Amino acid sequence: MPPDANRGVYSRLGVRAGALLEAVPEAVYVVDRAGRFVQWSDAFATTTGYDDDAFASLRWYDLVSDDSTEPVQHVHRVLAGMESSYYDTLRTAGDGPDTRRFEFSERPLRNDSGAVVGRVGVVKPAEQSARPEQFASFVDEVTDYAIFLLTPDGGVLTWNDGARRLKGYCEEEIVGQHFSVFYTAEAVERGVPDQILDRAREVGRAEDQGWRVRKDGSRFWADVAVTAIHDDDGTLRGFTKVTRDLTYRHEHEELITRQRDELNALDRLNRLIQTTVRSIVTESSQETMEQSVCDALAASELYQSAWIGDVEDDEPVLSVRCSAGDDGVLDALTDAVHEFGYSETMLDMIRAGEPVALSGLPSHEDVPEGVRQVAAAYDVGSSIVVPLAFGETLYGTLVVNSPCLDAFDDREQSAFQVLGVVLGFAINALRNRHLLFSDAIVELEFQTADREAFFSGVTREYDCRCLLEGQVLTENERTLQYVRVTGLPHEQVYELASEHETLEEVRLVSGDGDECLLEVVNTASGVQALVEAGAYVQSGVAEHGVATIRAEVAKGEDIRGVVKAFRRVYPDAKLVSKREHDRPARTAQTFRHELEQRLTKRQQTALRTAHLAGYFDWPRGSTAEEVAAAMDITSATLHYHLRRAQRELIDAYLDGEST
């Protein structure tokens, strides 16, 4: 309402009406007729430099010049009921007066009977001062704050432009309504508006932050200060209420909090991944490693339970290998998944090869009602299903449950995907280590006549033979295969291989007449599938349209899983034999003796001389010419003996990988 209309309201509220000015970012003060300070804003205290104790003993005249009659005339005008302003210096709490000029603008403060009981004023530097009439409406002109008065029972008495902009109500439609209209229905039901007024009555001031509602129903985050107003007799006359819109800051703080929580979660997952990598060396078995992962996840305050299970291809069954943090939820959820026909859907998630998060599980529309009810009963807010795979081989599934409805966001899913890959790699590494040190092995022999495969196909069509000389698994999980083809011109072999759709890459390593060595990468490789399943491929040969692959696995490993991995590439493959035998003990002395049998005396002499002379050091201790001169042979002869010896060393090492 206009300043003149406001005057009646302020007068009904008594001398404490100046409490409204405490919230205004101006140098505002209230004094009684004798000039004693009754109330002042923080800005006024900052401008003058005095604290609350000092104001208790100060009079208004102590702050203005004493060599002029103008301050006295100004006070007389205000006490006579007029508005007045004049310019003067200001005596601050420092050593002397502020030499700047200030404008003192004041208006009378009246009680219930209309008598002038004091003055309310504002101080501004002269260069910032406004006209006297502007002071009378400064509250109405504040646009960044909603500033208004309330009756003792919470009714809206006044309204400023800042309130209109913030809350959306015009003065005519809001004055007279209870201020609880600005609160959410949930806050009103909890009694928040009444609690704020009660606190202001008891201690003089109440502050609060929370969601408020505009006229159009939209919400904003409000910072609220409510101050009680009393008259000279101590009677409560109403309240001042100042509201700021802090939505942006609140949302920013919430964003920071969420990001901090997400980073904490990711940090825990990263530490778990590091622990898993270390467990490849420290853990003695796949079972203990998997159990340690489940224990670590369930021990975190972020998650409530975790389990790892096997996936059966021929039926929708998830069998549990290990678990942690289980208070019955595992059996309950597993039974519900099977009972309400959700197994196939879960298997599809697992076979997709990426983590699948089910946030808000108790109300997730894609989940059967029976499963949702079990999740709600056990306080499972969200779940994530993580495949444990290495290459194309699936070693199992990790399922983690969280009590939070919004758990497993995109970044957390990415971290779990890394964990799944690391676990898959770790399982494969443990199986390979088991194979390397196992005293007993199982030899498997597969045969396939797959017409789509290049090497079995080319031997069917042409009278040739293909021999797998070796394979290397690269860092990017590709398998390079080196295959020697005999009985067909090498130019023709290379041309056929380059055009075949099952070979992703082909390189002719060497070729001479009807014999060549190819380096190939298959789009789908049975050899790679065996390696990823934890087997060692001992040999491979293709003749007359049939490829025969022999592989070794450690005794006690999952033979069925190895067979299934091979058949995923070649569905027609047959396991034609399975033989168990003990691996003979092979000492370092035995290996040395076998190596000496493979090297000639000249090769041994060349290796020993070059080694002792520092030829293999970096930087070289001796050049090839210097070593050759010491042996009294030519440099070309030395290089010949070294290359042959190095070839024998490498062959001996690689031949011994499977033994």
CA of 250: how far to CAs of 18, 165, 246, 621, in Å? 30, 19, 6, 68
Q: How far apart are CA 292 and CA 282, in angstroms?
A: 12
Among 484, 467, 463, residue whose Cα is nearest residue 542: 467
Supply the pLDDT for residue 36. Answer: 92
Indicate whether 123 pLDDT > 50. Answer: yes
What does residue 122 show for φ and ψ, rounded to 5 degrees? -135, 145
Indicate whether 454 pLDDT > 80. Answer: yes
Q: Looking at residues 145-160, what average pLDDT do you find?
A: 87
Residues whose CB falls within 8 Å of the CB of residue 504, separated by 6 or more in sequence, listed in order: 520, 521, 522, 523
Indicate whether 7 pLDDT > 50. Answer: no
Supply the pLDDT for residue 6. Answer: 44
- Answer yes or no: do 406 and 317 share one domain: yes
Tokens of 276: 């898993």
- Answer yes or no: do 569 and 480 share one domain: yes
Indicate whether 183 pLDDT > 90. Answer: yes
Mean pLDDT taken over the chain: 82
Largest CA distance in the chain: 128
132 pLDDT band, cuts 50/70/90, is very low
- Answer yes or no: do 70 and 218 share one domain: no
- Answer yes or no: do 607 and 501 share one domain: no
Residue 637 lies in a domain: yes
Indicate whether 462 pLDDT > 90. Answer: yes
Residues whose CB falls within 8 Å of the CB of residue 386, separated by 6 or more in sequence, listed in order: 355, 397, 398, 399, 400, 416, 417, 419, 420
Tens of pLDDT, residue by residue over 22-78, are: 556 788 888 999 999 988 888 888 888 888 888 888 899 888 877 777 788 888 888
Strand order in the sheet with 84-91: 37-40, 27-32, 116-125, 97-110, 84-91
49 or 7: which carries more pLDDT confidence?
Answer: 49
What does residue 179 show for φ and ψ, rounded to 5 degrees? -70, -10
Supply the pLDDT for residue 593. Answer: 66
Q: How far apart are CA 215 and CA 219, in angstroms?
A: 9
Q: Which residues pair with 507 in a beta bridge?
A: 519
Tens of pLDDT, residue by residue over 587-597, are: 566 667 677 77
Indicate whether 140 pLDDT > 60. Answer: no
What is the rounded (10 degree) CA torsion for 365, 368, 369, 372? -80
- Answer yes or no: do 419 and 557 share one domain: no
- Answer yes or no: do 422 and 470 share one domain: no
Among 435, 441, 443, 456, residue whose Cα is nearest residue 577: 443
Among 135, 161, 114, residue whose Cα is nearest residue 28: 135
- Answer yes or no: do 646 and 607 share one domain: yes
Q: Which residues pair with 101 in a beta bridge?
A: none
Q: Could you say which of 582, 614, 648 is where a domain stops?
A: 582
Supply the pLDDT for residue 541. Answer: 95
Residue 539 lies in a domain: yes
pTM for the full predicted model = 0.48
Supply the pLDDT for residue 9. Answer: 45
Indicate whether 294 pLDDT > 50. Answer: yes
Task: Name the percent of the chain in helix, strand, coil, to the closest 5.
Answer: 45, 30, 25
Return the CATH number at 597. 1.10.10
Indicate whether 116 pLDDT > 80. Answer: yes
Structural domain count of the chain:
5
End-to-end CA distance of the chain: 96
Supply the pLDDT for residue 586. Answer: 57
- Answer yes or no: do 336 and 462 share one domain: no
- Answer yes or no: do 95 and 153 share one domain: no
Residue 256 lies in a domain: no
Residue 631 lies in a domain: yes
Supply the pLDDT for residue 558. Answer: 80
583 or 361: which carries more pLDDT confidence?
Answer: 361
Residue 133 lies in a domain: yes
Tens of pLDDT, residue by residue over 339-379, are: 777 777 777 777 777 888 888 888 888 888 888 888 888 88
- Answer yes or no: do 467 and 426 share one domain: no
Q: How far apart are CA 461 and CA 626, in angstroms?
A: 55
Q: Could you say which of 582, 614, 633 is where a domain stops?
A: 582
Residue 251 lies in a domain: no
Q: How far apart are CA 642 and CA 621, in angstroms?
A: 16
Residue 253 lies in a domain: no
Supply the pLDDT for residue 130. Answer: 38
Tens of pLDDT, residue by residue over 479-535, are: 888 999 999 999 999 999 999 998 989 999 889 999 999 999 888 888 888 888 888
Return the CATH number at 72. 3.30.450.20
Q: Could you say which of 214, 245, 276 is where a domain stops?
A: 245
Indicate whether 3 pLDDT > 50. Answer: no
Return the CATH number at 379. 3.30.450.40
317 pLDDT band, cuts 50/70/90, is low
- Answer yes or no: do 448 and 374 share one domain: no
- Answer yes or no: do 123 and 182 share one domain: no
338 pLDDT band, cuts 50/70/90, is confident
Residue 259 lies in a domain: no
Instruction: Name the one residue in this structure whose structure tokens are 């939070």.
Output: 404
Lowest mean pLDDT, pick from 216-220, 260-264, 319-323, 652-656: 652-656
544 pLDDT band, cuts 50/70/90, is very high
Print the domain residue range for 649. Answer: 588-658
